Amino acid sequence: MRRVAQETPAGVPLAQRASMQVVEPGERFELESGAHLSPITVAYETLGELSRTKDNVILIAHALSGDAHVAGRYRPDEAAVGWWDDFVGPGRAIDTDRYFVICSNVLGGCRGTTGPGSINVATGRRYGMSFPTVTIGDMVRVQARLLDRLGIDRVAAVIGGSMGGMQAIEWAISFPERVGSAIVIASTSRLSAQSIAFNAVGRNAITSDPRWCGGDYYDNGEPLGGLAVARMIGHITYLSDSSMQEKFGRALREAEKLSYGFDSEFAVETYLDYQGAKFVERFDGNSYLYITKAMDYYDPAAECSSLAEALAPSKARWLVVSYTGDWLFPTAQSRELVDALLVGRKRVSFVELESAYGHDAFLLEYEPLATIVSGFIQSVRDGKK
């Protein structure tokens, strides 16, 4: 069942938006590439109240096109809500009456965390393509720095869908003592060749835009056309053929008959136009390049004999969720992760949910996922096997 986000009830605390410098100027924060980056500022959001013992923390990791604004509103009169508002909030699957939720914008992003659009203090100019390549591991280590600054040693759960699921995997491997449970939704431990190919086409759309200017476009107009096309390509992969057929079919948007021209006239064309236009209002082309490349590079088993060996350090309980209609990160990839966890004798639960919505199902159909996730988190807190 799909639900439209409701107004935040009166008296419910609003989301708290903040930023924090987690790497000081002059400090050498080494990235996996061997490059160094400083300073680093992280934009983040919190909801709920931190318990006295600090044992109720849930860290939510966002997907490629997401940001720190996971739920709620920043002002009582604000119309927009966070990207997972159906799922996070008072009485919802991630119940902010019980849990203290943290969500931060990833390293390399464009919504407040240091990225290619940030000012390089060494030059006084925006980084552009001089920004160093970052990885999922780098993103997670920066998140860990944020938790350090907040005085939080351990989280009850790390949860994420899509690229957020990659971060959850990395958290469980790199910081095993700090993670009680890892919840991986519609994700994978490594991209397939097809997924890498889609990312490559999206990046080429941006870099082929005449306004990209080698990434040095911030003072001269952004490559909005290329970024919009990249979003259109990505959005197609987030849907399923059946959902697109059901929603659009071959319907025309406005005209009663074909124009025999090249303007968008099918409903699916104008929908993609809309998605591209909305995306460029809030996202940066260079960040898209860096974040998709980080996804391409992620493969925790690359230097191990197997995925099971890579996952060996984890001490977390795991929940892995896939969707039948997700052809971008299909169930087979989730099963590969589950099988590797079982080989390593890790505690793991796996659910495949029926959905026609494709990869975006975890953002659109909240009820089945809510029941599973809330029950899993409660069982972990209760100490049940």
Q: Does 77 map to a domain?
A: yes
Q: Which of 86, 209, 326, 360 is catalytic?
A: 326
Asked if residue 211 belongs to a domain, the reply is no
User: Residue 352 belongs to a domain with what CATH number?
Assistant: 3.40.50.1820
Read off the pLDDT band of 5 (50, 70, 90). very low
Of 243 and 44, the structure prediction assigns the larger pLDDT to 44
Q: What's at 299, amino acid-wise? A: D
Assess if residue 363 is contained within a domain: yes
Q: Is residue 243 situated within a structural domain? A: no
pLDDT at 309 over 60: yes
The answer to the question of residue 292 being in a domain is no
Q: Please tell me which residue in 162, 181, 314, 322 is annotated as part of the active site.
A: 162
- The full 3-state SS of the chain, as one line of letters, equals CECCCCCCCCCCCCCEEEEEEEECCCCCEECCCCCEECCEEEEEEEECCCCCCCCCEEEEECCCCCCCCCCCCCCCCCCCCCCCCCCEECCCCEECCCCEEEEECCCCCCCCCCCCCCEECCCCEECHHHCCCCCHHHHHHHHHHHHHHCCCCCECEEEEECHHHHHHHHHHHHCHHHECEEEEECCCCCCCHHHHHHHHHHHHHHHCCCCCHHHCCCCCCCCHHHHHHHHHHHHHHHCCHHHHHHHCCCCECCCCCCCCCCCCCEHHHHHHHHHHHHHCCCCCHHHHHHHHHHHHHCCCCCCCCCHHHHHCCCCCEEEEEEECCCCCCCHHHHHHHHHHHHHCCCCEEEEEECCCCHHHHHHHEHHHHHHHHHHHHHHHHHCCC
Note if the pTM is more than 0.75.
yes
Does residue 49 lie within any of the structural domains?
yes
Quick check: is 162 catalytic? Answer: yes
Q: Exposed (0-12), middle (13-18) or buried (19+): which is 313, by Cβ within 10 Å? A: middle
Instruction: Please indicate whether residue 242 is annotated as part of the active site.
Output: no
Q: Per this entry, what is the length of the chain? A: 385
Contact 139, 74 (CB under 8 A): no
Q: Which residue out of 62, 69, 235, 359 is catalytically annotated?
A: 359
Tens digits of residue pLDDT in 243-300: 889 888 988 887 677 888 888 889 999 999 999 999 999 999 999 999 999 999 999 9
Domain holding 349, by residue range, is 16-191+300-382
pLDDT in tens, 133-157: 999 999 999 999 999 999 999 999 9
Q: Is the pLDDT of residue 74 over 70?
A: yes
Task: Determine, yes or no, domain membership for 224.
Answer: no
| pLDDT at res. 8 | 45
Total domain count, the chain: 1
Structure token digits, residue 359: 């990869």
Does a structural domain hold residue 290?
Answer: no
For the segment 158-184, what is each residue's pLDDT rounded down to a tens digit?
A: 999 999 999 999 999 999 999 999 999
**Active-site annotation holds for 326:** yes
Q: How does residue 14 score in pLDDT terms, banded at 50, 70 and 90?
A: confident
